[in-house]
Amino acid sequence: MDTRYRIRGGIALRGDVSISGSKNAALPLLAGSLLTSGETVLRNVPDLRDVRAMLTLLEFLGAETSFQEGTVRIRAQGVKNREIPAEFVSKLRGSIVLLGPLLARFGEVKMAYPGGCVLGKRPVHAHITAFEQLGARNRSTEEVLHLEGALTAGRVILPEFSVTATENTLLAASLLPGETTIELAAGEPHVQDVERLIAAMGAEVEGVGMHHVKVHGKASLHCTTHAVTSDYLEAGAFVIATLVTKGKLRLHGVCEDHLISFLDTIRRLGGVTKWEDDVLFVDGELSSLRALEVRTNIFPGFPTDLQAPMGVAMTQASGVSRIFERLFEGRMAYLYELEKMGAHVEILNAHEALIIGPTALKGRTVSSNDIRAGAAMVLAALSAEGETIITDVRYIERGYDRFDEKLRTLGADICKEGAADVQEMKQKSPPSRAHVHPLPLARS
């Protein structure tokens, strides 16, 4: 069903907000429940479309699941090694992290190629390479991802700092007796959460958060209870929302170590933040935003998933800002949506753009191109003059727990409309010229 956000901007956000558990951590942790046959309990789980989709997938494999008030219980003793069809994974890129647990537990895994957001090429070669180094044979075809073979502990050299390939290798290694060494491992907070989970299940992990990790696996692991780490990407979005609306927020449940690079960038931008005990205070009234250069990088560098929200902040900064996107060639598409709202943007190539500010954004109808771009358009709408309609908010709801509800508690004028509401709106008022003649998605 087509759902949209209708947002009237120009309202300063004020109050307190609690940051939810991380979606990027929750998905591999849910997959990790397959490593044991007992009951795994996960707390602080965000209620997201992707989380619900992963639970449905686990149930397809034979697991028993329940999800109540942020707590997920998974009983995996009845799990069978079934081929996973496209209907379960075509819109869930995070399903790729099932490879490790299923291959380690059953010696074979077959699934359709995972889908998800369109962020440019996101091949699976890093995963295949990792498992081949542990003894798997690649039987994949153009339609089916197929690995088989009894894995043994050993040395894995990843071809890139891939978050999901690192998570897959960690999950598999935890069930392999002996020592597995992972070189060029990713160290993002959600990867660290996976490392903590398998350690709680009985594996020994050396080098949590490092690029060189050792896992001493066990033939069998025990079930555990684990709290999902907070979402530093959601926290970053609320920080920028505060700055562009000139509001004042206190963010609860934020891990300072996860935001070191981001908050340093906010400081260079001219944003005013401070820690009050374990609470992050953001003062948009005292902030004076100025142009800067941002280069995305692997953790602990500036997160690629906060690049689009930062692009919105740059529209409100004085001077010429520059963005370098190092990881995904599809991450600049949101800039065309910002142009519809009046932003002054120069896209130099698929990885680099200039944003000239400050620019008073105007309310328009814009779309969500992916999870993070969708959040960025919400931030732009909050700071814009007039009313903005954001389409395809299903993307946003895949990554942000009750985003619209949280914003309303902070004073934002935002409502969600379903397909019936949208159709009624179309019948009552004809489309504007901006709707009839949208800006092209390519620059001449």
> pLDDT for 393-420, tens place per residue?
988 999 999 999 999 999 999 999 985 4
pLDDT at residue 172 in the model: 98
Q: Which residue has the higher pLDDT, 52 or 91?
A: 52
Mean per-residue pLDDT of the chain: 91
Query: CA dihedral defined by 191, 193, 196, 198, rounded to 10 degrees?
Result: -70
Does residue 436 carry a pLDDT above 70?
no
Average pLDDT over residues 104-119: 80
The predicted structure's pLDDT at residue 426: 39
Q: Report yes or no on whether pTM surpasses 0.75.
A: yes
Contact 282, 248 (CB under 8 A): yes
Residue 125 host element (H or E): helix 125-133
**Nearest CA among 115, 178, 108, 174 for reference residue 147:** 108
Beta bridge partners of 41: 73, 225
Active site residue ranges: 117
Q: At what angle do helices 163-173 and 23-32 cross, to 10 degrees?
A: 30
Q: Identity (one letter) of the amino acid at 378?
A: V
- List, in order of start, the domains of the chain with CATH numbers: 4-20+230-428 (3.65.10.10), 23-227 (3.65.10.10)
pLDDT at 115: 74
% of residues, the chain, pLDDT over 90: 85
Write out pLDDT tens, residues 6-16.
999 999 999 99
What's the pLDDT score for residue 2?
Answer: 77
Torsion of CA 317, 353, 4, 413, to 10 degrees: 0
What is the chain's length? 444
pLDDT tens digits, 216-232: 999 999 999 999 999 99
pLDDT reported for residue 331? 86
Contacts of 164 (CB under 8 A, 6+ apart): 28, 94, 96, 97, 127
Q: Is 58 exposed, middle or buried (0-12, 13-18, 19+ CB in 10 A)?
A: buried
Helices H, strands E: what count in the chain? 16, 23
DSSP label at residue 431: P
Closest CA to 321 of 260, 245, 270: 270
For the residues 163-186, what does the mean pLDDT come to? Answer: 98
* pLDDT tens-place string over residues 55-90: 999 999 999 999 999 999 999 999 999 999 999 998
Element housing 4 (H / E): strand 4-8
In sequence order, which residues have a C-beta less than 8 Å from that of residue 423 and are 6 or more positions away?
Answer: none
d(CA 186, CA 225): 24
- Name 345's bridge partners: 355
pLDDT of residue 278: 87
> Who has greater pLDDT, 274 or 116?
274
pLDDT of residue 93: 87
What is residue 1's predicted lDDT score, i.e. its pLDDT? 52
Strand partners, 367: 391
- In terms of Cβ atoms closer than 10 Å to its own Cβ (0-12, 13-18, 19+), residue 3 is middle
pLDDT band at residue 277, thresholds of 50, 70 and 90?
A: confident
How confident is the model over 369-402, as pLDDT tens digits?
A: 889 999 999 999 999 999 999 998 988 999 999 9
Share of the chain above pLDDT 70, in %: 92
pLDDT at residue 117 is higher than 80: no
Whether a cis peptide bond, with omega within 30° of 0, leads into 300 is yes
- Distance from C-alpha of 444 to C-alpha of 324, rounded to nearest angstrom: 21
- Per-residue pLDDT tens for 320-364? 999 999 887 788 999 999 999 999 999 999 999 999 999 999 999
